[in-house]
Amino acid sequence: MRTVATLAVAAGMLAASVAWAGEVESGIPVGRSVPAFQVVKVGGAEDGVKPGQQLCYR
């Protein structure tokens, strides 16, 4: 009985959080420019950039 009550409470909390969250918007809107951002190379292609080097993309 205790397990059923726990599952019912968990299901209720999940349903409430989904209803409260609303629609998720992800990414940059169409037509808007991408701002500059910093990255650190960790590996990959041999492009003359050493792993660990910080780069700025614009």
Are 51 and 42 spatial neighbours (Cβ–Cβ below 8 Å)? yes
Q: Which residues constitute the domain of residue 41? A: 34-58
- Residue, of 30 and 13, whose pLDDT is higher: 30
When divided into structural domains, the chain yields a total of 1
Residue 10 lies in a domain: no
Instruction: Let me know if residue 45 belongs to a domain.
Output: yes
- Dist CA 49 CA 31 (whole Å): 31
| Backbone torsions φ then ψ of 40, nearest 5 degrees | -120, 125
Distance CA 18, CA 37 (A): 32
- 5-9 average pLDDT score: 87
Q: Is residue 54 a part of any domain in this protein?
A: yes
CA distance 16 to 34: 34
pLDDT tens figures, 16-56: 776 676 777 888 889 999 899 999 999 888 899 999 999 99
